[in-house]
Structure 1
Amino acid sequence: METAATLSAIEIIGLAGSASLLAGWRLYLVVLATGLAMRSGFVPLPEQLDALQVFANPWVIGIAGFGALAEFFADKVAWLDSAWDTVHTLVRPIGGALLALAIVDPGDPAMQVIAFLLGGGGALVAHGGKAGARAAINTSPEPVSNVVASTAEDIATVGALWFVYEYPWAAAGVAAVLLALAIGLILALRNMVRRFFKREPKNVAPRTE
């Protein structure tokens, strides 16, 4: 991984953005994966990200692991997944904001405020896209599509997180792709809802004066 001297402001912002957006999908998994990777030495974070060393604390790993395990199973059951997403509408944006806050330079108050606001906003957008898409999938009577979508989210979260930690120079691009995907899901869901309410009821006789 790159050293502290080679990390630019864009790379730091990209890391903060990517982590917060991924937290909007899988907050506990992001914290758990980061903590395990740091504790094992698999991800030697540069000096700018020293604040994230707290994730390697056994207590943090244990709590994040419990949350990730609960989310893993809850996410595979349609009605439970929708309830879980509803509860985490507040939790994930706060977690994303705190992640972004921990990543940026603590000596720059202005950047801290910007990171907190953008991190929370990014996590909220990602959560909205994820929750909306999964709500649509959860209406399917068969369980396969829900399990496939959930598993894909697990793999994508871990894969993207590893990629941005390993290649910080690409983090801004990953963040942009994640943001575009989340916005696209939200817009697709909005159009779907509009089409649903615009449909004319079938088998209804026309009114006569």
Structure 2
Amino acid sequence: MSVLPLVFTSGWASGVNAYALVLLLGLFGAAGVSDEIPQTLQRPEVLAVAGALFLCEAVADKIPYVDSVWDAAHTVVRPLAGAWVGALLAGHSGSLSDVTAGLVGGSTALASHTVKAGTRMAVNASPEPLSNVVMSLAEDFGVAGVVTFAMFHPLAAAVIAAVLLAGGLVVLFLVVSRIRRFLRRRAQRREERHLAAREGGPPG
């Protein structure tokens, strides 16, 4: 069976939380849950680094505005991690070109990262203080659930990841459109107040 569904799911998960993806895949491979996991991801030093960085992200991801800075710093890291994991999975299975898997994993990770970073910026503008915590926990459990499901049902997990990615892109588009409309209305009101002030002023 082609490893493409697992590559796609891994790419989606990498864009949300790359360290959680590497940690989960490595642990599943070490525990013998799946034969699809390459030895590189199971190495103790890889698991240790992924675990430490996952803990850092778990904290940063729940603090307003700190999460956006963290996301900005990972704009390159997450797609590269998705491409790296995809290439490793393809090389291990031998059923898919490493280059193709890298492109699929990297591009999918970039798309899901864009959704995550964009929605987080919108959440930061929300007055509810628990929004970041709720979003972060939902993302963590979502990645854990989908990646775990992919170990047993890779094709179904890929479908779920695709639906989540498509839904996230739609939500992001709607949020960005709403913000743009708000900014246009605010600029228009400022211009109207400026014109009204000029017209009501003393004659030149």
Please give the alpha-carbon distance, in whole angstroms, between the structure 2 residues aligned to 1:103 and 1:65: 20
Aligned to 2:31: 40
1:201 to 185, 189, 193: 189
> Does structure 1 conserve the Cα–Cα contact (< 8 Å) formed by 2:22 and 2:50?
yes
Aligned to 2:126: 140
Q: Determine helix, strand or coil for the equivalent of 1:104.
A: helix
1:19 to 5, 10, 35: 10
Structure possessing the higher relative contact order (Cα contacts under 8 Å, 6 or more residues apart): 1
AA aligned opposite 2:59: F
AA aligned opposite 1:204: R
1:101 to 70, 87, 97: 87
- Verify: 1:63 aligned to 2:71, yes or no: no
Aligned to 1:129: 115
Aligned to 2:162: 176
Cα displacement (A) at 1:177: 1.3
Provide, for residues 74-102 of structure 1, a one-character-per-residue CA deviation record: whole Å limited to 9, x for no partner: 01101210110000001001001111111
TM-score, normalised via structure 1 length? 0.84
Rg larger in 1 or in 2?
2
TM-score, normalised via structure 2 length? 0.86
Unaligned residue ranges in structure 2 (runs of 5+): none
1:77 to 47, 59, 63: 63
Please give the alpha-carbon distance, in whole angstroms, between the structure 2 residues aligned to 1:169 and 1:22: 15
Please give the alpha-carbon distance, in whole angstroms, between the structure 2 residues aligned to 1:84 and 1:152: 18
Residues 110-125 of structure 1 mapped to structure 2, 5 A cutoff: 111-125=97-111
AA aligned opposite 1:20: G
1:114/1:40 CA distance change after superposition, 3 Å: closer
Provide, for residues 34-53 of structure 1, a one-character-per-residue CA deviation record: whole Å limited to 9, x for no partner: 21222233x222xxx252x2
Provide, for residues 89-132 of structure 1, a one-character-per-residue CA deviation record: whole Å limited to 9, x for no partner: 01001001111111225697983222212211110110000010
Q: Report the identity percentage.
A: 37
Q: Determine helix, strand or coil for the equivalent of 2:98.
A: helix
> Does structure 1 conserve the Cα–Cα contact (< 8 Å) formed by 2:15 and 2:79?
yes
Please give the alpha-carbon distance, in whole angstroms, between the structure 2 residues aligned to 1:91 and 1:127: 10
> Does structure 2 conserve the Cα–Cα contact (< 8 Å) formed by 1:14 and 1:175?
no
Instruction: Tell me the C-alpha RMSD between the 2 structures.
Output: 2.3
Unaligned residue ranges in structure 1 (runs of 5+): 1-7
1:152/1:171 CA distance change after superposition, 3 Å: closer
Aligned residues: 195
1:115/1:166 CA distance change after superposition, 3 Å: same
- Verify: 1:31 aligned to 2:22, yes or no: yes
